[in-house]
Amino acid sequence: MAQNLNLELTRRELFRTGGMGLGASALMSLLGQDALSVESQFVNPLRAKQSDYQARAKNVIYIHMIGAPSQLDLYVDKPKLREITGELCPEELFNSQQFAFIRSRPKMYGSQFNFRPFGESGQVFSELLPEIGSMADDIAVIETMHGEQINHSPAQLFMQTGFGRFGRPSMGSWVTYGLGSENENLPSFVVMVTGSVGGAGNSMWGSGFLPSIYQGVEFRASGDPVLFLSNPQGIKAKDRRRIVDAINQLNREQLVDVGDPEIATRIGQYEMAYKMQSSVPDLMDTSGETEVTHALYGTSPGKAGFANNCLLARRLVERGVRFVQLFDQGWDHHSNIEKSIRNKTKAVDKPIAALLKDLKQRGLLEETLVICGSEFGRTPMVQGGLNNAGRDHHKDCFTIWMAGGGIRGGVRVGESDELGFSITKDPVSVHDFHATVLHLLGLDHKALTYKYQGRQFRLTDVAGVPVAKVLG
Instruction: Write down the pLDDT at residue 196.
Output: 87
Torsion angle in degrees (nearest 10) through CA of 356, 443, 414, 340: -50
User: In whole numbers, what is the pLDDT of the chain averaged over residues?
Assistant: 87
Query: pLDDT tens, 317-358?
Result: 999 999 999 999 999 999 999 999 999 999 999 999 999 999
CA–CA dist 65, 129 (Å, integer): 15
What are residue 42's phi and psi, to 5 degrees? -80, 140
> What mean pLDDT is predicted for residues 207-230?
80
Instruction: Write down the pLDDT at residue 22.
Output: 38
Query: pLDDT tens, 261-301?
Result: 666 666 666 566 656 666 677 888 999 999 999 999 999 99
What are the DSSP calls for 49-73, one per residue?
A: ---SS--S-SEEEEEEEET---HHH
Structural domains of the chain in order of their starting residue, each with its CATH number:
1-44+239-286 (no CATH), 47-222+304-470 (3.40.720.10)
What are the start-end ranges of the H helices in 134-260?
152-161, 171-179, 237-258
